[in-house]
Amino acid sequence: MKFRTLAIHAGQQPDPSTGALNTPVYLTSTFSYGTAAEGQARFAGQNPGYIYSRMGNPTSSALEQKLAAMEGADEAVVVASGMAAISSIVYALTQQGDEVAFIDPVYGGTDAFLRNTLVRAGIKVTSYSSDDDFVANHSANTRLVLWEPITNPTLKVIDSRKIVAVARDIGAITVCDNTFLTPYLFRPLELGVDVVMHSGTKYLCGHGDIIAGVVAGNGPLIQRIRTIALKHIGAPMGPQEAYLLQRGVKTLPLRMDAHLIAAQKVAEFLAAHPKVEKVFFPGLPEHPGHQVIKDTAGGFGGMVALELAGGFAAAATLLDNLTLFAQAVSLGDLESLACHPASTTHAAMTAADRAKAGVTDKLVRLSIGVEDADDLIADLSQALDLL
Ligand SMILES: *Cc1c(COP(=O)(O)O)cnc(C)c1O
C-alpha cells in the first residue's frame, strides 16, 4: 500500500466487541486474565494478551502497528516523549565502556543527556562536526552513532548514507532522529539505518496537544528498547496520547504537503528581502545540503531560519511585531511558531559553543504552519518593514 493509505488504515481494525471504527481509548491500568492458569501462561509469554498498561495497551498497540508500517519497520514502540525515546534507545543498546558518537548539532535535550547524564554511566561520548568529519575521524570503537538529517536550529543537512556506510564497516548501531522530516518525506530504514526515532510531539501529532515519542526498527533491537523503555525506565505513552497521536498521524501526508508549500514560499520571500541577511532552508538551491535532501527525501521540511543585521534587538522587533506567528518553542504544529534560539532553547550553552553551532544573536527560527503562505508572508513583510 502507498503511504497515504497506510497512514489511514495500518493498525486500525473495527473494535471486535462493538464494531467501533476508531480504536477506542482503553483507559485501564490492568487487564483481568480470569484464571490462574491464564495468568501463569501470560506471564510466561506462552499466551498473548495484555497484563498491565505500563507494558502494553490496545490503544498504543494499534498506534505502534500504524507507525511501524509508515516507517517500513517490523516493529515500533511508543513512549512518553522524544527524550524518553532517545534515553531508552541509548540505555538499551550500550553499556559501560562503550563509545557513543553524535553529529553536531543535535536537539538541546539530546545534547545535554549525552554529554551530562550518559557519561555518568561510564560511556564515552564524542561529537563530530559533520558527516564528513565522522567519515574521516570516527573512532573504530564507536558502538552507536546518532544524528538528525536536518539539524536544529540552523538546518544543516547530514547525509545519512555516509554515516551508514562507516557504521557498517565498524559494526556500530545507527540511530536517526527523523522528527524534522517524518516518514512521509524520509524513511531512514530504507537507507540501512537500524533505529529511527521521533519526537511525536512535533509533526507526527501536528496539533500541538501532546508530548510523545516513537521508536521504530527491526525485531530484536526494538524488543530490547521496549523492555528498557516500558519495564525499566517506565515511560509508556498513555492511551489518551496514543489516541490523539494516531488521529494526528492519519493526516500527516496532507499536513506535510501544506507545510512544504508554505515553507518554500516563505523562504523564497525572505531570501529576496533586503532586510534579511541570510536564509537557512534546504529547499533553496544555494543551500549546501539541497542536493542531499533532493536525493534522499521527498521534500525539504517546514522549518526556516533567518539572520537579521542588528542582533537581538532586530530579532526582538521582528518577533514582537508578528501577529500570526506565536513566540514559542516546539515545531510542526498547524500554527506557525517563531523563536530566538540564542536567548531561549540554546541559552544554556556557553557563548563559545553557541558560536560553534552557528546559533548567533541574529538568528530567528520559524516553524511554518499550514496557514496560507500569502498571509504568513504579509505578516513577515509588515514586521520586517519596522526594522
Ligand atoms: C523536540 C525534539 C526532541 C525531544 O522530544 P520531546 O518530545 O520534547 O521529548 C528530540 N529531537 C528533536 C529533533 C526535537 O525537535
DSSP letters along 110-168, please? HHHIIIIIGGGGT-EEEEESSHHHHHHH--TTEEEEEE-SB-TTT--B--HHHHHHHHH
For residues 289 and 183, membership in a common domain is answered with: no
| pLDDT of amino acid 350 | 87
C-alpha cell at 198: 521521533
For residues 207 and 63, membership in a common domain is answered with: yes
| pLDDT of amino acid 356 | 86
- 345-359 pLDDT, tens digit each: 999 888 998 888 899
Among protein residues, the one whose CA lies closest to atom 6 of ligand 1: 82
- 156 Cβ neighbours under 8 A, 6+ residues apart: 105, 130, 150, 288, 289, 358
| pLDDT of amino acid 219 | 86
Q: Where are the alpha helices (DSSP H) in 142-301?
A: 160-170, 182-185, 219-226, 239-250, 252-271, 290-296
C-alpha cell at 127: 561529537
For residues 62 and 84, membership in a common domain is answered with: yes
Asked which of 234, 250, 266 is the last residue of a domain, the reply is: 250
d(C-alpha 250, C-alpha 6), whole Å:
8
Asked which of 250, 272, 303 is the last residue of a domain, the reply is: 250
| pLDDT of amino acid 353 | 85
Instruction: Give the ligand 1 atom nearest the CA of 110.
Output: 10
Among protein residues, the one whose CA lies closest to atom 7 of ligand 1: 82
Asked which of 197, 230, 250 is the last residue of a domain, the reply is: 250
State the distance from the centre of ligand 1 to the C-alpha of 201, rounded, in angstroms.
7
Catalytic residue among 66, 156, 202, 362: 202
State the distance from the centre of ligand 1 to the C-alpha of 104, rounded, in angstroms.
15
How many structural domains is the chain composed of? 2
For residues 264 and 232, membership in a common domain is answered with: no
| Alpha carbon distances (Å) from 39 to 97, 117, 225 | 39, 38, 25
Q: Cis peptide leading into 24, omega within 30 of 0? A: no
State the distance from the centre of ligand 1 to the C-alpha of 19, rounded, in angstroms.
36
Q: Which residues pair with 76 in a beta bridge?
A: 216
C-alpha cell at 143: 558502538
| pLDDT of amino acid 259 | 98
Instruction: Give the ligand 1 atom nearest the CA of 109.
Output: 4
CB 296 within 8 A of CB 150: no
Q: Tell me whether residue 202 is one of the annotated catalytic residues.
A: yes
Place of cell 558527516: 131
- 194-214 pLDDT, tens digit each: 999 999 999 999 999 999 999
Instruction: Give the ligand 1 atom nearest the CA of 148.
Output: 13
d(C-alpha 349, C-alpha 127), whole Å:
15
Alpha carbon 308 to its chain's center: 27
For residues 189 and 262, membership in a common domain is answered with: no
* Residue 200 DSSP SS3: coil
Among protein residues, the one whose CA lies closest to atom 11 of ligand 1: 107
d(C-alpha 292, C-alpha 295), whole Å:
5
CATH number at residue 336: 3.90.1150.10
End-to-end CA distance of the chain: 50
Q: Tell me whether residue 143 is one of the annotated catalytic residues.
A: no
Question: Which residue from 78, 83, 156 has its CB within 8 A of the most atoms of ligand 1, so it is best to mutate?
Answer: 83
Q: Tell me whether residue 203 is one of the annotated catalytic residues.
A: no
For residues 63 and 195, membership in a common domain is answered with: yes
Q: Tell me whether residue 255 is one of the annotated catalytic residues.
A: no
Catalytic residue among 104, 131, 159, 177: 177
Catalytic residue among 107, 128, 184, 203: 107
For residues 232 and 342, membership in a common domain is answered with: no
Q: Report residue 114: phi and psi, to 5°.
A: -65, -50
Of the candidates 327, 323, 335, the one whose C-alpha atom is nearest the C-alpha of residue 364 is 327
CB 199 within 8 A of CB 179: yes
| pLDDT of amino acid 319 | 98
For residues 58 and 207, membership in a common domain is answered with: yes
| pLDDT of amino acid 349 | 84
| pLDDT of amino acid 242 | 98
Question: Which residue positions in the chain have pLDDT lower than 70?
Answer: none
| pLDDT of amino acid 186 | 98
Q: Which residues line ligand 1 (CB under 6 A)?
A: 81-83, 107, 109-110, 148, 152, 177, 179, 199, 201-202, 211, 213
d(C-alpha 201, C-alpha 72), whole Å:
21
For residues 223 and 359, membership in a common domain is answered with: no
d(C-alpha 357, C-alpha 182), whole Å:
24
CB 168 within 8 A of CB 187: no
For residues 91 and 173, membership in a common domain is answered with: yes
For residues 265 and 199, membership in a common domain is answered with: no
Domain extent at residue 333: 252-384
CATH number at residue 161: 3.40.640.10
C-alpha cell at 6: 497506510
d(C-alpha 69, C-alpha 9), whole Å:
10
Catalytic residue among 54, 115, 168, 231: 54
Q: Where are the alpha helices (DSSP H) in the chain?
A: 3-9, 36-43, 58-71, 82-93, 108-112, 131-137, 160-170, 182-185, 219-226, 239-250, 252-271, 290-296, 311-321, 351-357, 373-384
For residues 220 and 101, membership in a common domain is answered with: yes
The dihedral over CA atoms of 270, 271, 276, 277, expressed in degrees to the nearest 10, equals 150
d(C-alpha 345, C-alpha 293), whole Å:
25
State the distance from the centre of ligand 1 to the C-alpha of 146, rounded, in angstroms.
14
